[in-house]
A and B are shown apart, each in its own frame.
Chain A
Amino acid sequence: MPAPRATPADDAQALMLAFQAGEEAAFDRLVAATKADVVALAYRYGLDAARADDLAQETFIRVYKSRATYRPDARFRAWLLRIATNLVISEARARKRARLVPLDAGPGGEDDEAAAGQGHEDARAEPPEARLEREELAKAIEAAIQELPETQRAALILNRFHDQSYEEVGAALGMSLEAVKSLLFRARQNLKDRLARYVRPDADGF
């Protein structure tokens, strides 16, 4: 069995514990180490880049203020993503109630386009057709995710984009393992149907 290797998640955990013990500078290092994860989570929920940043900052403010409640037996990343998920869902509901613009209906400005492209450092080296195809696919996937019912979306985002195990997803959303399994099954089925024209399975299932 290979020795467990140190992951960024372990580093974050250590930083959180140092911060909790009173080392103020550890907080900035913690933010630097985990901010991309939180921004990506908010973005996955359909917030534009600026609002995803804003929500991520708010998440870290909550981390700062509730540092005393963090228990070392809880994985830091799971705890962080749970706070971010609660915030983004609260905001989405508040918006829905106030009948404001839905999260996914903002005008897709140039900032969004530029921001969305940042993840692809090799974008310029790509042939134009391939790039168009990839962008169309990304848009279709993002739209399909936004169309999922809220809990399916939350479970999918945590599991698929933030590597949270079913157990961790259950802890974050306050659900049993069975409920998470069923939720993620339905989410995947919904996506499979909505993205049918892009899904190209291998010949064999396994």
Chain B
Amino acid sequence: MATCDDIRTDLVAYVDGELDAAARVAVEGHVASCAACRRELALLRATGDLLAGLAAPAPAARFEERVRERLAKEAAREREGAREPIRLPAPGRLRRAFLAVAAAAAILAGGTTVYLTLSGRLGRDGRGTPGELPGEGGIARYGAGDEALEEEAIAKLDILENLDLVEDLELLESYEALEDPLQGLDLEGRG
């Protein structure tokens, strides 16, 4: 016979109908003879039921039009950007390019260590004076010759991970938006 500890963490999955047959039988067998677990099961089930009545607002009027407007605005901005000769990284370099951009964003987001290290580099490279935050211009000028910056960014990966920027890498990579490396990083432009 399964003990309380054996089946306890299965109780919610049981209520949700997510257990396989064997685990389900184990829960039912135990609960039939254990009043405490029976009560726990009832409470967990009732808690789930409580959530059912929660309402959410309906989408605003003209929702679809607003999506279209924003898409048009972005397309216009991209056309605007295309007139300037910005060298974009080749597809194979996308991952490393993202890391470099993420490093720059991390700096903006307060990654002091990265900032101190990279600001020296940026100064030496003539991309800004030491102590100056590399802004969008610096990032937009990112091109094929910045191996050292990339390597440094990759070396700081652990810091970037702490800043949660790399977690979205897979998702971001799948976006065409990455053709413009700045676009996927618009994390705080809204609200």
What separation, in Å, do the CA atoms of A57 and B31 have in the docked complex? 46
Q: A182-B9, A199-B47 in contact; A91/B191 too (CB < 8 A)?
A: yes
A165 to chain B, nearest CB (A): 7
Selected interface stretch from B12-20, B79-87, B120-128, B152-160: B12-20
What separation, in Å, do the CA atoms of A189 and B12 have in the docked complex? 9
**Contact present for B51 and A141 (CB under 8 Å):** yes
What separation, in Å, do the CA atoms of A116 and B16 have in the docked complex? 27
Which listed residue (A43, A90, A93, A201) contacts B43, Cβ 8 A? A201
Q: A31-B63, A35-B63 in contact; A117/B47 too (CB < 8 A)?
A: no
**Contact present for A35 and B59 (CB under 8 Å):** yes
Asked if B177 is an interface residue, CB under 8 A from chain A, the answer is yes
**Contact present for B176 and A68 (CB under 8 Å):** yes
A residues less than 8 Å from B66 (CB atoms): 53, 57
| Chain A residues touching B, range | 35 or more
User: Can you list 28 pairs linking A and B with CB atoms under 8 Å apart?
Assistant: A28-B64, A28-B68, A31-B67, A40-B56, A40-B57, A44-B56, A55-B190, A57-B63, A57-B70, A83-B171, A90-B168, A95-B188, A97-B110, A118-B58, A119-B55, A138-B53, A160-B51, A161-B56, A181-B13, A182-B9, A184-B12, A185-B12, A188-B44, A192-B44, A195-B47, A199-B43, A200-B46, A201-B45
**Contact present for B70 and A94 (CB under 8 Å):** no
Residue of B nearest to A99 (CB): B110
What sequence of 0s and 1s flags, for each residue 23-65 of chain B, a beta carbon within 8 Å of any chain A beta carbon?
0000010010000011111111111101101111111100110
What separation, in Å, do the CA atoms of A115 and B168 have in the docked complex? 31
Total residues of chain B contacting the partner, CB 8 A = 53
What separation, in Å, do the CA atoms of A39 and B110 have in the docked complex? 31
B residues less than 8 Å from A202 (CB atoms): 42, 45-46
What separation, in Å, do the CA atoms of A198 and B54 have in the docked complex? 14
Asked if B187 is an interface residue, CB under 8 A from chain A, the answer is yes
**Contact present for B59 and A53 (CB under 8 Å):** yes
B residues less than 8 Å from A40 (CB atoms): 56-57
Q: Which A27-77 residues have a C-beta within 8 angstroms of B? A: 28, 31-32, 35-36, 39-40, 43-44, 49-58, 60-62, 64-66, 68-69
A194 to chain B, nearest CB (A): 9
What separation, in Å, do the CA atoms of A119 and B57 have in the docked complex? 6
**Contact present for A54 and B57 (CB under 8 Å):** no
Residue of B nearest to A167 (CB): B18
